[in-house]
Amino acid sequence: MKYSLNSLPLSNSFASLPGDFYTRVQPTPFELPASLIHFNTRAAGLLDLDPGVLHDPRFVEIFSGKQLLPGGDPLAMLYAGHQFGHYVPQLGDGRAIILAEATNGRSEKWELQLKGGGQTPYSRNADGRAVLRSTIREYLCSEAMHGLGIPTTHALCLVGSDDEVYREQIESGAILTRLAPSHVRFGSFEVFFYRNQQQPIRMLADYVIEHHYPELAGKPDRYLLMLQIIIERTARLIAQWQSVGFAHGVMNTDNMSILGLTLDYGPYGFMEAYDPGFVCNHSDHHGRYAFDQQPQIGLFNVSCLAQALLPIIDIEDAKAALETYQDIYTSYYHQFMAEKLGFEKADARVLELLAELLAQMQQSRADYTLLFRALGDIQRDSSARRQPISDMFIDRERFDHWIKNYRLHLRASSRNDTQRREAMMNVNPKYILRNYMAQLAIEKAGRDKDYSEIDRLMTVLSAPFDEHPGMSHYAEPPPDWAGNIQVSCSS
């Protein structure tokens, strides 16, 4: 069954909680006319929403905040969080408004949230708006992450206007409609812990369990079990980020999902030349959220969550749960990287090969995505001394020696070249969202109101492991000018 705007089953389970958790607020529409920039049919499928809704004149008005969804109950969520390691006592949805919660034909619930929908009580003197630049970046990257098989929020549509929004410069305003089963964050618990309000912590935990971890309901240790699941999901998520070279940029606890989703795309970046210390956020002057720091920041963040849950779980149990994080992360990361190399298991030999390869990649600044994709073409029984891939490396002799050892281990595996190559092509993407690609889409949209680049990128990013004839230029190394692109917390 496909739903229209009138028939889409709506509720808002979060609004069933007391008003301490949120503020009911109405979106603020643009002053100038709004228009649709892009509609994500794949995200619409999550709602069982009929693509024909685009012909409904109310569509743009609803998703630009001018009209409410029939049966909607808009609200902005309260939360706090650790930002760059420092606790900020009240944050909340400063430019995001949850319109409603939609239920699809499979009884799955999705919150529809306007990002850039105007001021809320949590805006902290900001304008509550988003700009075209940042909304395009989130719109594209949420689809890219989904295409890579990494848990993420989704983006339903982009609506823009000629309203002026002030950031480092004057920019055009835009609103993104985001979908997620829940937007509850680690900071949603922290705000009540630091206020010494224990009852809201228990109520929120009960809500999360009832709606998202129902298998835990009624168990005497359900809160501890919830923490353990969140630790596991967070560790796995960050291992997935590391495996594709993704850097989030702002891993504050208010940007960490209790469902293990990639949440709040700001100054993110996919690493190009391999550099463990890669910092994608121009505002991160001390490199707190550098690529190689993400695993440990994940531990810091789940530790903050565990602390916030101490009123309802035993401290020793919380410590024991946190002690599992590193092993869980390492296990996932090693397995993902073994698969990228074409092996089924991460044995000691595979890990030696991986460590040596990464060291050589760092020395030569080899392109992370292109290198792993190209490894799929290595033939284990070939007698060729040197491969074209060797040109990615400064010390070709050293890499040739690595290839020799790599082939030896490939020959010891049960897969033949065809089987291994197929497996590797399914875990090593051909396409990632490089910053210059997003920048081209932003410039065309802003300068010419030409949204065709968004459409092309959505095609390749939604299926990044496929070849996409005619699109292979998106899989080439970035142009020289791409090195001048900077993204910051305003991005």
pLDDT tens-digit map of 179-230: 999 999 999 999 999 999 999 999 999 999 999 999 999 999 999 999 999 9
Question: Do 321 and 354 fall within a single domain?
Answer: no
3-state DSSP assignment of residue 71 = coil
Q: Of 454, 460, 458, whose CA–CA distance to 476 is shortest? A: 460
User: 30: alpha, beta or left, given left = phi > 0 and alpha = psi -120 to 50?
Assistant: beta
- When pLDDT is averaged across residues 38-42 and rounded to a whole number, the result is 97
Q: Whole-angstrom Cα distance, residue 78 to residue 466?
A: 41
Question: Do 146 and 17 fall within a single domain?
Answer: yes
Q: Of 233, 243, 261, 235, whose CA–CA distance to 426 is shortest? A: 243
Amino acid symbol at 54 = L
Q: Name the pLDDT band for 168 (thresholds 50, 70, 90).
A: confident
Domain assignment present for residue 146? The answer is: yes
Structure confidence at residue 479 (pLDDT): 87
DSSP structural state of residue 58:
H
Q: Which of 335, 364, 397 is the last residue of a domain?
A: 335
Q: Which of 277, 302, 335 is the last residue of a domain?
A: 335
491 pLDDT exceeds 60? no
42 pLDDT exceeds 90? yes
Question: Do 199 and 329 fall within a single domain?
Answer: yes
Question: Do 161 and 173 fall within a single domain?
Answer: yes
3-state DSSP assignment of residue 134 = helix
385 pLDDT exceeds 80? no
444 pLDDT exceeds 80? yes
The model carries a pTM of 0.96
Domain assignment present for residue 274? The answer is: yes
Q: 62, 5 in Cβ contact below 8 A? A: yes
Residues 6+ apart with CB under 8 A from 249: 266, 267, 268, 269, 280, 281, 284, 289, 487
Question: Do 21 and 165 fall within a single domain?
Answer: yes
Q: Name the pLDDT band for 1 (thresholds 50, 70, 90).
A: confident
Domain assignment present for residue 475? The answer is: no
Question: Do 92 and 212 fall within a single domain?
Answer: no
Domain assignment present for residue 14? The answer is: yes
Residues 6+ apart with CB under 8 A from 446: 132, 133, 171, 172
- When pLDDT is averaged across residues 419-438 and rounded to a whole number, the result is 97
Domain assignment present for residue 303? The answer is: yes
Question: Do 210 and 288 fall within a single domain?
Answer: yes
Question: Do 222 and 370 fall within a single domain?
Answer: no
Question: Do 271 and 175 fall within a single domain?
Answer: no
Question: Do 209 and 307 fall within a single domain?
Answer: yes
SS (H, E, C) 152-192: ECEEEEEEEEEEEEECCCEEEEEEEEEEECCCCEHHHHHHH
Number of domains present in the structure of the chain = 3
Question: Do 135 and 34 fall within a single domain?
Answer: yes
Which range is least confidently modeled, 129-133, 449-453, 483-487?
483-487
Q: What is the mean pLDDT of the chain?
A: 95
**Residue 236: both structure tokens together:** 């796995």
Domain assignment present for residue 120? The answer is: yes
DSSP structural state of residue 430:
S
Structure confidence at residue 387 (pLDDT): 77
Structure confidence at residue 340 (pLDDT): 98
Q: Name the pLDDT band for 414 (thresholds 50, 70, 90).
A: confident
Name the catalytic one among 48, 93, 254, 367: 254
Q: Whole-angstrom Cα distance, residue 108 to residue 392?
A: 46
Structure confidence at residue 490 (pLDDT): 55
User: 117: alpha, beta or left, given left = phi > 0 and alpha = psi -120 to 50?
Assistant: alpha
Calculate ∠ Cα 311-314-320, nearest 5°: 130
Q: Whole-angstrom Cα distance, residue 446 to residue 160?
A: 10
Residue 73 falls in the annotated catalytic set: no
Question: Which residues constitute the domain of residue 397?
Answer: 341-425
Domain assignment present for residue 432? The answer is: no
Question: Do 175 and 32 fall within a single domain?
Answer: yes
Q: Whole-angstrom Cα distance, residue 122 to residue 22?
A: 10
DSSP 260-321: --B---SS-EE--B--TT---BTT-TT-TT-GGGHHHHHHHHHHHHHHHTTTTS-HHHHHHH
Dump pLDDT digits (tens) for 254-289. Answer: 999 999 999 999 899 999 999 999 999 989 999 999
Structure confidence at residue 488 (pLDDT): 59
Dump pLDDT digits (tens) for 307-338. Answer: 999 999 999 999 999 999 999 999 999 999 99
Question: β-strands 10-11, 96-103: how paired?
Answer: antiparallel
User: 365: alpha, beta or left, given left = phi > 0 and alpha = psi -120 to 50?
Assistant: left
Domain assignment present for residue 309? The answer is: yes
Q: Which of 319, 335, 351 is the last residue of a domain?
A: 335
78 pLDDT exceeds 80? yes
Q: 429, 146 in Cβ contact below 8 A? A: no
Q: Whole-angstrom Cα distance, residue 350 to residue 352?
A: 5
484 pLDDT exceeds 90? no
347 pLDDT exceeds 60? yes
